[in-house]
Structure 1
Amino acid sequence: MNRRKLFKILGAGVGSLPLVAYGRNYRKLSPERSNDLFEQWEGKFSEAIVTDEAFWQRFATDFYDISPGFINLENGYFGVQPIPVNAAYHQFVDKVNRESSRYMRMDYWNDWQMVMDSLAGFTGASKEALLVTRNATEALNILINGFPLKAGDEVILQHHDYHSMIEAFQMLEKRKGIKLKFIDVPLLPKSEDEVVKLYESAISPVTTLILVTHLTHLTGQVLPVKTICEMARNKGVEVMVDAAHSFAHLDYKLADLGADMVGVNLHKWYANPLGAGLLYVKKEKINKLSPMFGDFTQPADSINKLGHFGTLASPALLTIPVAGKFNNLVTIKVKQARLHYLKAYWTSKAAAMKRVEVHTPLAPDQSGAIAAFSVAGISADDTVKRLLDEYGVFTVKRQLKDREVVRVTPNLYNSVADLNRLLKGIEGLSRG
Structure 2
Amino acid sequence: MPENTLRAHDEAFWQTFVGRYDVDPGAPLNLENGYFGRMSRTVVEEYQRNIEFINRTNSVYVRQHFDLEHSEAIRRQIAQLIHAAPQAVALATSAVDALQTLIRNYNGLKPGDQVLISDVEYASVKSAMRWLARQRGVELIEIVHPHPASYESLVGTYRQAFTQHPRLKLMALTYVNHLTGLVMPVQAIAETAREFGVDIILDGAHALGQINFDLQKLGIEFAGFNLQKWIGGPLALGFLYIAPHRLADIDPDMDEGSYPASDIRSRTPHSTPNIPALLTLPLVFEEHRALGGASAKGARLCHLRDLWVTAVRDLPGIEVMTPDDRRLYCGITAMRFTAHTDQQAMADRLLDEYGIFTVVRQTSAGPCIRITPGLITLASDIERLTQALLELSRT
User: Does TM, normalized by the shorter one, top 0.5?
Assistant: yes
Is 320-329 or 170-179 further displaced after alignment?
A: 170-179
Deviation at 1:65, TM superposition (A): 1.2
**Aligned runs of 1:282-301 on 2, under 5 Å?**
282-301=243-262
Q: SS state of the match for residue 319, structure 1?
A: helix
1:417 — aligned with what?
A: 380
Q: How many residues align?
A: 386
Deviation at 1:294, TM superposition (A): 4.2
1:83 — aligned with what?
A: 41
Does residue 64 in structure 1 map to residue 21 in structure 2? yes
* Cα deviation digits, residues 120-154 of structure 1 (max 9, x gap): 22210001000110000000000110012332211
2:295 — aligned with what?
A: 333
Distance in structure 1 (CA, Å) of the matches to 2:147 and 2:21: 33
Q: SS state of the match for residue 361, structure 2?
A: strand
Distance in structure 1 (CA, Å) of the matches to 2:94 and 2:23: 24
Deviation at 1:297, TM superposition (A): 4.3
| Structure 1 residues 117 and 172: CA distance shift in structure 2, 3 A | closer
Distance in structure 2 (CA, Å) of the matches to 1:168 and 1:210: 12
* Cα deviation digits, residues 143-171 of structure 1 (max 9, x gap): 11001233221112111110110011112
Distance in structure 2 (CA, Å) of the matches to 1:415 and 1:198: 37
Deviation at 1:176, TM superposition (A): 2.6
Q: For the Cα contact (< 8 Å) 1:340–1:364, is it kept in 2? A: no
* Cα deviation digits, residues 243-284 of structure 1 (max 9, x gap): 110011111233332112011011111111001011000111
Deviation at 1:229, TM superposition (A): 1.1
Q: In the alignment, which of 252, 266, 270 is matched to residue 309 of structure 1?
A: 270
Distance in structure 2 (CA, Å) of the matches to 1:124 and 1:171: 32
Does residue 399 in structure 1 map to residue 357 in structure 2? no
| TM-score of the superposed pair, with normalisation by structure 1 | 0.86
Q: For the Cα contact (< 8 Å) 2:79–2:85, is it kept in 1? A: yes
Q: For the Cα contact (< 8 Å) 1:135–1:276, is it kept in 2? A: yes
1:111 — aligned with what?
A: 70
2:21 partner amino acid = Y
Q: For the Cα contact (< 8 Å) 1:267–1:276, is it kept in 2? A: yes
Distance in structure 2 (CA, Å) of the matches to 1:299 and 1:310: 16
Distance in structure 1 (CA, Å) of the matches to 2:72 and 2:253: 24
Does residue 245 in structure 1 map to residue 202 in structure 2? no
| Structure 1 residues 162 and 260: CA distance shift in structure 2, 3 A | same
2:155 — aligned with what?
A: 196
Q: For the Cα contact (< 8 Å) 2:258–2:270, is it kept in 1? A: no
**Aligned runs of 1:26-425 on 2, under 5 Å?**
46-61=4-19, 63-69=20-26, 70-109=28-67, 110-148=69-107, 149-190=109-150, 192-203=151-162, 204-331=165-292, 332-378=294-340, 379-425=342-388
- Identical pairs, percent: 33
Q: SS state of the match for residue 328, structure 2?
A: coil
1:135 partner amino acid = S
Q: For the Cα contact (< 8 Å) 1:142–1:291, is it kept in 2? A: no
Distance in structure 2 (CA, Å) of the matches to 1:405 and 1:309: 39
Q: For the Cα contact (< 8 Å) 1:356–1:375, is it kept in 2? A: yes
Distance in structure 1 (CA, Å) of the matches to 2:74 and 2:258: 23
Distance in structure 2 (CA, Å) of the matches to 1:367 and 1:316: 31
* Cα deviation digits, residues 83-126 of structure 1 (max 9, x gap): 22222111111111111111111111322122112112221000
Deviation at 1:57, TM superposition (A): 0.5
Distance in structure 2 (CA, Å) of the matches to 1:406 and 1:189: 17
| TM-score of the superposed pair, with normalisation by structure 2 | 0.94
Q: For the Cα contact (< 8 Å) 1:85–1:322, is it kept in 2? A: yes
Distance in structure 1 (CA, Å) of the matches to 2:324 and 2:225: 24
* Cα deviation digits, residues 304-343 of structure 1 (max 9, x gap): 1112331111111222222111111112111111111111
1:122 partner amino acid = L
Q: For the Cα contact (< 8 Å) 2:358–2:370, is it kept in 1? A: yes
Is 88-97 or 285-294 further displaced after alignment?
A: 285-294
1:16 — aligned with what?
A: none
1:286 partner amino acid = L
Distance in structure 1 (CA, Å) of the matches to 2:320 and 2:178: 15
Is 165-174 or 133-142 further displaced after alignment?
A: 165-174
Q: SS state of the match for residue 365, structure 1?
A: helix
Q: SS state of the match for residue 326, structure 2?
A: coil
List gaps (5 residues or longer) in structure 1: 1-44
1:3 — aligned with what?
A: none
* Cα deviation digits, residues 214-244 of structure 1 (max 9, x gap): 0000000001111111221232221111111
Q: SS state of the match for residue 346, structure 1?
A: helix
Q: For the Cα contact (< 8 Å) 2:253–2:266, is it kept in 1? A: no
| Structure 1 residues 96 and 187: CA distance shift in structure 2, 3 A | farther
Q: For the Cα contact (< 8 Å) 1:187–1:360, is it kept in 2? A: no
Deviation at 1:300, TM superposition (A): 2.4
Distance in structure 2 (CA, Å) of the matches to 1:113 and 1:173: 35
1:64 partner amino acid = Y
Q: For the Cα contact (< 8 Å) 2:252–2:261, is it kept in 1? A: no
Distance in structure 2 (CA, Å) of the matches to 1:322 and 1:186: 42
Q: For the Cα contact (< 8 Å) 1:294–1:308, is it kept in 2? A: no
Distance in structure 1 (CA, Å) of the matches to 2:128 and 2:119: 14
| Structure 1 residues 414 and 79: CA distance shift in structure 2, 3 A | same
| Structure 1 residues 297 and 412: CA distance shift in structure 2, 3 A | closer
| Structure 1 residues 205 and 352: CA distance shift in structure 2, 3 A | closer
